[in-house]
Amino acid sequence: MATNRTFTMIKPDAVQDNHIGGILGMIEAAGFRIVELQKVQLTPERAGQFYEVHKERPFYQDLVKYMSSGPIVAAILEKDNAVADFRTLIGATNPANAEEGTIRKKYAKSIEANAVHGSDSDENAQIEGEFYFG
Ligand code: CMP
């Protein structure tokens, strides 16, 4: 399977706060090519489906509500070693633990409103990309 694509979403708080350009700028500056791009608002049903792997987690209901609270930007990104390099670029899920220079260090507000999503494997990158662009 190709290891050169990943999938990302810019989450509702970052879109609301006018950080689409800033975040896409950091992504391009890090050497990723934007292959697909779409601004869209998820229904609670679609948000729930996207995050179905987390449905037993205590934060699931809040996450679904948050992710459907306003528009998001979904994108497929291309670069060598895309999944791992993108996770390095975005930083830790909890922005309190995110390294200096990462997208979440700069833009995330909380563990939930953490500015961006990044796929955690090649397999999930494929599935998540198809969820929007299939
Ligand atoms: P993301 O990388 O998109 O994957 C799952 C999302 O759930 C995560 O980012 C956060 O937005 C949200 N979330 C909320 N609370 C937690 C938590 N305690 N641990 C992990 N993810 C959480």
pLDDT of residue 19: 98
State the pLDDT confidence band at 105, using cuts at 50, 70 and 90. very high
Q: Which two tokens stand for residue 11?
A: 């989450």
Closest to 91 (Cα-Cα) out of 104, 80, 108, 72: 104
* CATH at residue 39: 3.30.70.141
Q: What are phi and psi of 84, to 5 degrees?
A: -70, -45
Q: What is the pTM of this model?
A: 0.96
Find out whether the beta carbon of 79 lies less than 6 Å from any atom of ligand 1: no
Mean pLDDT of the chain: 97
Indicate which atom in ligand 1 lies nearest the CA of residue 120. 2
Find out whether the beta carbon of 120 lies less than 6 Å from any atom of ligand 1: no
Residue range(s) defining the domain that contains residue 94: 5-133
129 C-alpha to center of ligand 1: Å? Answer: 19
Strand partners, 77: 6, 34
**93 annotated binding-site participant:** yes
Q: How far apart are CA 62 and CA 34, in angstroms?
A: 29
Q: How far apart are CA 50 and CA 60, in angstroms?
A: 11
The tally of domains found in the chain comes to: 1
Task: For ligand 1, atom 11, name the residue with the nearest CA.
Answer: 112
Per-residue pLDDT reduced to its tens digit, 43-92: 999 999 999 999 999 999 999 999 999 999 999 999 999 999 999 999 99
